[in-house]
Amino acid sequence: MIVEYIRYQIPAATAAQFEADYARAAAQLAAAPQCVDYELSRCDEDPESYILRIAWTSADDHLSGFRGGEHFPPFLDAIKPYLPNIVEMRHYTKTSVAGPGGSVPSLYDWLGGAEALDRLTESFYEQVLKDELLYPLFKDMDSRHPHFVAMWLGEVFGGPHAYSSERGDYRHMVSRHLGKHITEQQRRRWVNLMMDAADHVGLPDDPEFRAAFASYIEWGTRLAEINSQPGREAYDAPIPAWGWGVSPPYRG
């Protein structure tokens, strides 16, 4: 992915029309398969200064794909009057210096931290071992398995990197599912029991948290089912860093 920044100096008298024209042009960005996302910002200290940020799948996709495709002509038509107002138009590559700020709590903090996750997984696996469909998969599990899963969920939801420090990386997690031959019925039962356990131990029930929590459980169990099938091998990937309303996010 590459990020393009376009800086404009727009006279105050034409600012409203500029924003309206860019809203029209943005429909082409929204439809372009080369565009990841976009955002137009106006400077508070200098209201005549605007910055347009566009994330492209690659520089070539932008310069050749988008500009050579059907969406570029109507995009250019909408913003053509403002080309003389461009101060800068460049591509930038993101560095490893990135991360969330502290204004929004992590899912880990919101749900109650390590103690809440331990209660969740203890309650969950207590029911798993009573379940006819899931018992064959877990009958020989390590007594510490619930805690290990709590560690994994804690790291995924923005808590300490306990799992990767004490247990292993993403490859290790994948290796735990190899050869298990998990069925779709078993996966769905796992999801249902996890949601029941979240209710039982009193995890936050606000829609925003439960939507984020459920999206990871659904995403993670589908990968577990895929990785458990014959012929699959362990592979490297970042440990997912799940957030509010973002799917599937990874640390860079």
pLDDT, mean of residues 79-88:
97
Rounded mean pLDDT of 128-139? 96
Mean pLDDT of the chain: 95
The residue with greater pLDDT, 183 or 99, is: 183
CA distances from 133 to 137, 181, 196 (A): 8, 13, 16
Query: Which pLDDT belongs to residue 251?
Result: 47
The pLDDT tens digits for 190-240 are: 999 999 999 999 999 999 999 999 999 999 999 999 999 999 999 999 899
pTM, 2 dp: 0.77
Q: Of all residues in the chain, what percent carry a pLDDT higher than 70?
A: 97
- Read off the pLDDT of residues 100-110 as tens digits, 9 standing for 90 and up: 788 889 999 99
pLDDT at 250 over 70: no
- Average pLDDT for residues 123-141, to the nearest whole number? 96
Neighbouring C-alpha atoms within 13 Å toward the C-beta of 75 = 16
pLDDT at 252: 38
Give mean pLDDT, residues 126-151: 96
The pLDDT score that the predictor gives to residue 99 is 75
Dump the DSSP string for 197-223: HHHHTT----HHHHHHHHHHHHHHHHH
Dist CA 51 CA 49 (whole Å):
7
User: Under a CB-based contact definition with an 8 Å cutoff, are residues 155 and 216 in contact?
Assistant: no
Structure-derived torsion over alpha carbons of residues 71, 75, 80, 84, reported in degrees to the nearest 10: -100
Q: What percentage of the chain exceeds 90 in pLDDT?
A: 90
Which domains are present in the chain? 2-92 (3.30.70.100), 107-227 (1.10.490.10)
pLDDT value at residue 248: 59
What is the band of 62 on the pLDDT scale with cuts at 50, 70, 90? very high
Residues 6+ apart with CB under 8 A from 175: 234
Does the CA dihedral 206-207-212-215 come out positive or negative? Answer: positive
Arithmetic mean of pLDDT, 72-87: 97
Question: Residue 245: what pLDDT?
Answer: 79
